Amino acid sequence: MSSIADIRKEYRFKTLSEADVAADPFVQFNRWWEEATRSELEEVNAMTLSTATATGKPSARIVLLKGVTPQGFSFFTNYDSHKGRELAENPFAALLFFWAPLERQVRIEGKVEKLSAEESDAYFNSRPEGSRIGAWSSPQSEVIPNRSVLEERESSYRETFKEGQIPRPAHWGGYIVKPLLVEFWQGRPNRLHDRIQYSLQDDHSWKTARLAP
């Protein structure tokens, strides 16, 4: 078995300079997003979401990006889940995209707010029936005795909603991460990576700076 410490990758795919990046991080994100989607990366919208308790104890998991607007980055989940409870205590989060074939990362830190009920309804109603039933069936992050509990709940809710519309549960909906900081990372040879950071200023403009790798 090879040593974990011996695992290395040499980055040499592209470069990132101050002269190349857009003045607005959302414009820059959309540029990279278009390249990532054209590259047909698997689960291109998968991102690490990091949250923390009020006392600063962190946790992280993969969620799926479901929208980008000039206001922020959106995802959907159970409000009563572990991450939902942490966001209720401490409404700040960090996101991380890692697009390995492009040797790129995007880091986002910002304040988190719930999306409107109308936005959550619209997305919920666009989901496949199984996913809508699943939102009702899973008491997300709670301890359960076995998988049969989930299967029984799913069967029960299928019966409940068999002849009508499946409404969005009150405990399920969307969040938007409104960034205060966005960093674009491009892998480069010899670990001398390119890092361009955008930070939101008091006048709502963005300041860019190069960070040492």
- Which sequence positions are flagged as catalytic? 191
Q: Quote the tokens at residue 90.
A: 């401490």
Cβ count within 10 A of residue 79? 20
Helix, strand, coil abundance in the chain, percent, nearest 5:
30, 35, 35
Burial tier of 47 (Cβ tally within 10 Å: 0-12, 13-18, 19+)? buried
**What's the distance, Cα to Cα, between the start and end of the chain in Å?**
30
Contact 104, 57 (CB under 8 A): no
